[in-house]
Structure 1
Amino acid sequence: MTSPTRILILEDDDGLRTSLRLVLEDEGYAVFEASDAEKALLTVEDPGVDLMLVDLMLGGMDGFSFIARARPRTEAPIVVVSARDRTEDIVAALEAGADDYVTKPFSVEEVQARLRALLRRPTIGDAETEDADDDVLTLDSRTPLLFDAGAAVLRRGEEEVHLTQTEFRLLSVLAEHAGKVLTRTALLQHVWDQDYFGDERIVDVHVRRLRKKLEVDSANPQILVTVRGLGYRLDTA
């Protein structure tokens, strides 16, 4: 028997947290609740979770700090649910390691759709990547950079470079279309979900994070380049 998907809700509004829990439990999810970040971090480690819904404005440790501390401990997708809708807040949350961002007020249906999209998304080790095409090899001025999608490994020389699930999926899609420009809309559809309706800023932030792992000088990219007015292209050797 398959174990239910485990979702952590980190939200200090008791009413909203309870409402989300009831809706998600009705869909068959196993839901863990926390109103403070320290307690939530314990849940991330034991028993572990498959996905997290995180508010940013919390008492004590805020959501940004929680995400930054949780990300090295788990690959589980993180969806921010917050009333803070300024660009700098969205970017900061994504830079900390969040995968998606939903602003309050929101419809429960929207949150459900975002969760389903993230849970449907192929991840490291899935069959889709095991049957991937040949390795994509990119050379920089110092050491070879090798992306083996089948083994889900990115290496710079002999050193393995860690990728989050979203970074892995983004690089996989770009590698599948190496040499071709992919628009932000196309990347949203391929990486996040076929019917994704989220904010294109998510793409820009994750591209920037991925560049830091691919490029010798991320300020002057040679591998993952921006095609102004169009989108992004992965240039391989």
Structure 2
Amino acid sequence: MDITAQIPSLKGHVSEAEWQLRVDLAACYRLVARYGWSDLIFTHISARLPGDSHEFLINPYGLMFDEITASSLIKVDAQGNKLQDTPFPVNQAGFIIHSAIHAARPDVGCVLHTHTRAGVAVSAQKGGVLPISQQSTFVLASLAYHDYEGVAIRPDEQPRLQNDLGDKVFYCLRNHGLLTVGKTIADAFLAMYTFESACQIQIAAQAGGAELTPVDDAIIRGTAESMRVQTGGLGGAFVWPALLRQARRQCPGFDA
């Protein structure tokens, strides 16, 4: 049974801006599943709605990421309270992280969090992300760490989550997983693709057993300009149209 087929379409019932955000976020969920970054129904991707009301879109708790559609996404306030009629709950515990970051970073439009094996493995290493690949240089140029405090269900952890992230893009949650932020959904996705790749490469390189060659610090300091050149100054927007085409080919139905 296709559970999402029972959800009425919100197209035409929300603003054009909100509908486009819903489509992009649903596509992001499908792509996360397609790339193997999902963790059953757990973890979250949230996107801030336009305006000053501090409202966000987040996944309906209980759906697999490859089931999520634009209309099934849930609109919530900064406390995670549902602002629309939906049969699905919101994972209040998971939203502790997202609401904290959105509140502290008005420049952030999307927060993407994963529990991949490579990401958790690197987060558990004392040295964290190592400067051993081109991908890692982009991460290290804007990386923060947060020590593990148990499952993120306590509001009192939020100030520490905010302070540790600061103004960074890549966030390594120790013994937990990876998180990226972006001005747009596309920016957060591209950052996570880079972060996850760096972690997979690191685990593979370490498994080889040979001595690793580090990248010079001066190169890492210049990577922001390199990324700008590589994407024509567009960031995630440069690759997002191609990702949407891939999503429509390989995991269609997200824009319902």
Does the pair score TM above 0.5?
Answer: no
| TM-score interval, smaller chain | under 0.3
Q: TM-score of the superposition, structure 1-length normalised?
A: 0.28
Q: Which has the higher contact order (CA 8 A, sep 6+)?
A: 2
Q: TM-score of the superposition, structure 2-length normalised?
A: 0.26
Hey, which of these two has a bigger chunk of strand by percent? Answer: 1
Hey, which of these two has a bigger chunk of helix by percent? Answer: 2
